[in-house]
Structure 1
Amino acid sequence: MSASVRGPADLHAHSAVSDGTEQPAELVRAAARAGLGTIALTDHDSTAGWEEASQAALEAGIALIPGMELSTRYGHKSVHLLAYLFDPSDRALMDETARIRESRLTRAERIVDNLARDYPLSWDDVLAQTRDGATVGRPHIADALVHLGIVPDRSAAFAGILHPSRGYVMPHYAPDPLTAVALVRAAGGIPVVAHPATRGRAHVLTADYVKSLAGAGLFGLEVEHRENTADGKRRLRELAERFDLAVTGSSDYHGEGKPNQLGENTTAPEVVERIIAEASGWQPVVPENPAASP
């Protein structure tokens, strides 16, 4: 990294702007307390937390890499793309994320309507679990189900009632990964596929498709993530080596929403250096006196 941006670096974390439980400033302060030197804010399809997080990073003495987790769809599979240091005023990318957020909202309303036929759940119950400025989605529905005592926690909600097999949930609009990679690169950003092996090597993107993504500008694969299986991680490393892609590691922290802990997986300093060097859309927020040691 540069002389001022220190490690360890956790490049995947969410605030209440999407489905985390902490405001952007609270997230940044939690990262500093956890001993991180660099944190990336990657809320779903939104940059609304960048300004607050940037100010908090300067005050907490921790470097911030502003980013986003962009929703995409590959066939019938949901694929998430981490995007770092892109221009948040880029019209094409912002129009696409606005379309995704609108689709998320209307889908959430339909899911609640479906659930309300069988459970004592209302839209107001869900809104009560949503922070100001956040796009309502499945995590907020899960929180409402927890609050009402219908399920014990978010994980149980996603494994049970909110699992697609139960029939209450339907997909929302999302571009294909190739389109998303091109949009991020055109906005000066750096794209990395998030946790692409959560169900083992058989469900990893095909080698031919990863080759196409690399050709379109994909920077890397998020390999070290608690939900990637061991077999899947081996396959991801093979693909990264084969197509000259970087390997990243992150916590995918959501505060109280998930068991993930800040810094449980981190990204190598030389990879963060490359991300910063290649990005042309935005700059990391770097305090004069970082709190963490290299």
Structure 2
Amino acid sequence: MKFYYDLHIHSALSPCADNEMTPNNIVNMAVLKGLDVISITDHNSAKNVEVIYELSKSKGIKLIPGIEVQTKEEVHILCYFFDIFDCISFGKIIYDSLECIKNNKSIFGEQLIMDEDDNIIAEEEKLLLTSCGFSIDDIFKMIDGKGAAVPAHVDRTSYSIISNLGFIPNISNLKTVEVSYDFSIVGNTSEYQKKYKIISSSDAHRLGDINERIHYIECNDFESIVEWLCS
């Protein structure tokens, strides 16, 4: 089966995302775009994942629980989980490892935690746009057996594993990389395409940026998607 996806979407919890990235707006836009599966991957926190997970089920959209981690090396890694509770627990570990720097809303934007009716129930005060206390190797070890870790936007010149390290390290459970919009990767494109699976998600911070029905993963069923990403 072909599952049309966008596995890199930020909610209004991410300070760099528009406040219009509410649970209902995201899910409804995914429906309008004809997507089968999405993932909410906020920066260093999973506090909006559960509510969007429940809304997605009600609209016939599958949601893979996720989080975008910024490692010690300032590399962004997308972490996807088989189980939502593993995602939430992992999110707490990542969050607790962040330095206690207060968010400056006028500079970075608001960090909104919402309910199923898009009401703001809390505002995250700790700045989420910082590096956590774990390295790239740590993240891949922590997620092994629980899900898949995917280096984000490896074609970009900042916060990517290639731009920051100059290469993709040889990690046993690193099987997939994400590119921003197409299948061109910095460096030797054919080399990376031969070695890794490639996904292309939107990194949407605005509703209109969410993927159209273009990119798909071919699996037997929805439950196999995270397995596909890490195998």
- For residue 194 of structure 1, the aligned residue among 132, 152, 170 is 152
The aligned counterpart of 2:7 is 11
Kept in 2, the 8 Å contact 1:8–1:263? The answer is no
The aligned counterpart of 2:209 is 261
Residues 187-239 of structure 1 show CA distances to partners (whole Å, capped at 9, x for unaligned) of: x11111101221299726444x522x2x2x1131002x04x89451x635522
Instruction: Indicate the SS of the match to 2:65.
Output: strand
| CA-CA distance at 1:181 after TM superposition | 1.0
Kept in 2, the 8 Å contact 1:198–1:229? The answer is no
Kept in 2, the 8 Å contact 1:11–1:266? The answer is no
Instruction: Indicate the SS of the match to 2:71.
Output: strand
Structure number with higher strand proportion? 2
- For residue 138 of structure 2, the aligned residue among 179, 193, 203 is 179
| CA-CA distance at 1:172 after TM superposition | 3.8
Residues 28 and 35 of structure 1, relative CA distance in 2, 3 Å threshold: same
Instruction: Indicate the SS of the match to 2:72.
Output: strand
The answer to whether 1:203 aligns with 2:163 is: yes
Kept in 1, the 8 Å contact 2:72–2:131? The answer is no
| CA-CA distance at 1:93 after TM superposition | 3.3
Kept in 2, the 8 Å contact 1:249–1:266? The answer is no
The aligned counterpart of 2:96 is 99
Residues 135 and 65 of structure 1, relative CA distance in 2, 3 Å threshold: farther
Residues 205 and 221 of structure 1, relative CA distance in 2, 3 Å threshold: farther
Instruction: Indicate the SS of the match to 1:179.
Output: helix
Amino acid in the other structure paired with 2:139: A
TM-score normalised to the size of structure 2? 0.74
| CA-CA distance at 1:173 after TM superposition | 3.7
Calculate the aligned-residue CA RMSD, in Å.
3.6
Amino acid in the other structure paired with 2:192: L
Aligned residues: 213
- For residue 218 of structure 2, the aligned residue among 257, 270, 281 is 270
Instruction: Indicate the SS of the match to 2:202.
Output: coil
Instruction: Indicate the SS of the match to 1:69.
Output: strand
Kept in 2, the 8 Å contact 1:85–1:279? The answer is no
Query: Percent identical across equivalent pairs?
Result: 24
Kept in 1, the 8 Å contact 2:75–2:164? The answer is no
The aligned counterpart of 1:65 is 64
Kept in 2, the 8 Å contact 1:18–1:43? The answer is yes
Query: How far apart are the structure 1 equivalents of 2:25 and 2:89?
Result: 30
Who wins on radius of gyration, i.e. which is larger?
Answer: 1
| CA-CA distance at 1:246 after TM superposition | 1.4
Kept in 1, the 8 Å contact 2:76–2:151? The answer is yes
Residues 92 and 37 of structure 1, relative CA distance in 2, 3 Å threshold: closer
Structure number with higher helix proportion? 1
TM-score normalised to the size of structure 1? 0.60
- 1:27-42 alignment to 2 at 5 Å? 27-42=26-41
Amino acid in the other structure paired with 1:255: R
- Runs of 5+ consecutive residues of structure 1 not aligned to the other structure: 113-122, 140-170, 281-294
The aligned counterpart of 2:117 is none
Query: How far apart are the structure 1 equivalents of 2:217 and 2:153?
Result: 20
| CA-CA distance at 1:7 after TM superposition | 3.2
Instruction: Indicate the SS of the match to 1:210.
Output: coil
